[in-house]
């Protein structure tokens, strides 16, 4: 039987001294066994259908989620905040999530840019309470510009990492990302999703649906947490 889940609760917290407050959505099933502090990607906020779908599927597996906005998304702007503000927001979100669910072990990460900003923050200084980082599509490079520069900080992480990647992801050439993950040692794991792009959409001819891929993503995160 799936855990019972109440509607997501609206939260607010201070992102940084200069950026002001941002919104968050806290979704906790009962019983819950862990918490995922989940940041959105560059082009969409915390209410994007992908974020909603993952949160609901994780709740069905006993994992609470704390989704939050970066300041630019809170303001409804397209221009992304300077990196120091993004990193400060990640750390503030984890602290706010710990206040919301102090009894739950926490992992952090998120979709694309949100996951990368989480790892950058943790590489600069470990984030208190975060036991692992789960990437929902790590953005290794810009589309059509293969490189591994964005992954250089990953070697400084001190917690386990999970990379969930589509094989058609234009922002992560797997021929480049696989060696990066392997070089991180046994604490890093990568799971690929055949035919999925950066948004984890699959072509009809793949034989799978987007919903099936979302189910598999949530299952992978939920199964990885105890490890």
Average of per-residue pLDDT across 120-141: 98
Local structure of residue 73 (DSSP, 8 states): H
User: Residue 170 in 3-state DSSP?
Assistant: coil
| Matching residue, tokens 């992978």 | 220
Please state the domain extents for the chain: 4-224
Collect all residues with Cβ–Cβ distance below 8 Å to 143 and sequence separation of at least 6. 170, 171
Collect all residues with Cβ–Cβ distance below 8 Å to 226 and sequence separation of at least 6. none
CB atoms within 10 A of CB 160: 19
Before 31, cis peptide (omega within 30)? yes
Cα-atom radius of gyration of the chain, to the nearest Å?
16
Give per-residue pLDDT as tens, 12-44. Answer: 999 988 889 999 999 999 999 999 999 999 999
Mean pLDDT, all residues of the chain: 95
User: Residue 16 in 3-state DSSP?
Assistant: strand
Q: Where are the alpha helices (DSSP H) in the chain?
A: 49-59, 71-74, 83-100, 113-124, 174-183, 210-224
Which overall architecture, per CATH, does domain 4-224 show? Answer: 3-Layer(aba) Sandwich (3.40)
Give per-residue pLDDT as tens, 137-186. Answer: 999 999 999 999 999 999 999 999 999 999 999 999 999 999 999 999 99
pTM for this structure? 0.95
Give per-residue pLDDT as tens, 82-108. Answer: 999 999 999 999 999 999 999 999 999
| Confidence class for position 1, pLDDT limits 50, 70, 90 | very low
Whole-number Å distance between alpha carbons of 80 and 73: 8
């Amino acid at each position: 039987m799936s855990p019972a889940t109440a509607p997501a609760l609206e939260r607010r917290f201070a992102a940084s001294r200069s950026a002001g407050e941002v919104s968050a959505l806290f979704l906790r099933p009962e019983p819950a066994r862990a918490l995922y502090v989940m940041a959105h990607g560059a082009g969409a906020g915390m209410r994007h259908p992908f974020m909603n779908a993952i949160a609901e599927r994780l709740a069905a597996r006993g994992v609470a989620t704390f989704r939050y906005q970066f300041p630019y998304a809170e303001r409804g702007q397209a221009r992304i905040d300077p990196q120091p503000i993004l990193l400060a927001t990640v750390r503030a979100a984890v602290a706010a999530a710990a206040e919301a669910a102090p009894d739950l072990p926490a992992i952090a990460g998120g979709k694309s840019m949100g996951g990368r900003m989480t790892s950058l923050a943790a590489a600069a200084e470990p984030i208190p309470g975060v036991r692992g980082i789960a990437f929902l599509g790590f953005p290794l490079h810009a589309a059509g510009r293969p490189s591994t520069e964005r992954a250089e900080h990953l070697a400084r992480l001190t917690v386990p990492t999970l990379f969930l990647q589509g094989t058609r992801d234009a922002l992560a050439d797997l021929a480049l990302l696989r060696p990066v993950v392997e070089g991180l040692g046994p604490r890093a794991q990568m799971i690929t999703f055949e035919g999925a792009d950066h948004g984890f959409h699959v072509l009809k001819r793949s034989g799978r649906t987007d919903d099936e891929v979302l189910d598999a993503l949530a299952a992978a995160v939920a199964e990885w947490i105890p490890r």
